Structures are given as structure tokens and as C-alpha cells.
């Protein structure tokens, strides 16, 4: 059995940890956006952490992957500490499992929601 899995950071195509999806039989499905209810933080400029809020959020760019349900635990184990799996509401109102950040991880870290996603943020850093 396979499930749709949303990723919003270094698991995305061409980025540092994408191999963790590919090695676990992940297949890219589509680019997508969250519903306008999420905020994003840069964790030491190494990866993002995304959380859902009732107010003050916006759409965040992400990717949808098809992954074997039996390999989901392995994918999570390969993620940095403080990231977890939860339900993500997409802009088309579907809910899929995906990567979220725990609140403690975001404390004191810069919020990067205004960039619309990890790729937008990293592109802005390379232009500095």
C-alpha cells in the first residue's frame, strides 16, 4: 500500500535529503501548496520546520510524493530531530500526511513564512 506524503524542505527533489525518499521507493507526484494556514521557520539555515495555525498563516510550497506506507517510519527516522509526521491540509482541501515541526524546534529561530517555502528562502540567501 502506498500513501501520498507532503514534504516542504530538504526531502524535496534535488535537495540534500531527497535520497532518503528515493532509497525508500518514493515517487514524485506533484508540486503543491498548503492551505493558507501554515508558518515556516529556518532551523539553523539547515532545514525548515512548518506548523499550522488558526491565524497568520499562508500557503507554503511543497511536494507530494507517493511512498510505501511500510517505509514511512524509516523516512521519519532519517529526518532531523524535532520533525514529525502529521496531517497537512492542502490548498485543494485534501489532507495528506507530511512533515511538520514541533513547536520547541522553532523557538528562537527566524520565521521565513514570507518566502512562501524553503526553495524561496534558500534562493533569497544565494542572492545576498
CATH of 2-123 given 3.40.50.300, 3.40.50.1450, 3.10.490.10, 1.10.287.3510: 3.10.490.10
Instruction: Decide: residue 114, CB within 10 A, 0-12 exposed, 13-18 middle, 19+ buried.
Output: exposed
SS (H, E, C) 14-77: CCCCCHHHHCCCCEEEEEEEECCCEEEEEECCCEEEEEECCCCCECCEEEEEEEEHHHHHHHHH
pLDDT tens string for the chain (128 positions)? 999 999 999 999 999 999 999 999 999 999 999 999 999 999 999 999 999 999 999 999 999 999 999 999 999 999 999 999 999 999 999 999 999 999 999 999 999 999 999 999 999 987 76
Pairing of strands 83-89, 61-68: unpaired
- Tell me the C-alpha distance between 99 and 68, whole Å: 16
Amino acid at each position: 500500500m502506498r500513501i501520498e506524503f507532503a514534504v516542504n524542505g530538504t526531502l524535496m527533489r534535488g535537495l540534500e535529503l531527497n535520497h532518503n525518499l528515493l532509497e525508500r521507493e518514493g515517487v514524485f507526484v506533484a508540486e503543491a501548496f498548503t492551505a493558507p494556514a501554515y508558518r515556516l521557520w529556518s532551523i539553523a539555515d539547515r532545514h525548515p520546520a512548518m506548523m499550522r495555525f488558526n491565524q497568520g498563516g499562508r500557503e507554503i510550497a511543497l511536494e507530494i510524493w507517493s511512498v510505501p506506507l511500510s517505509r514511512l517510519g524509516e523516512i521519519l527516522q532519517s529526518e532531523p530531530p524535532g520533525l514529525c509526521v502529521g496531517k497537512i491540509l492542502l490548498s485543494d482541501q485534501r489532507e495528506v500526511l507530511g512533515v511538520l515541526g514541533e513547536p520547541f524546534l522553532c523557538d528562537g529561530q527566524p520565521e521565513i513564512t514570507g518566502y512562501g517555502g524553503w526553495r524561496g528562502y534558500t534562493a533569497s540567501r544565494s542572492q545576498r
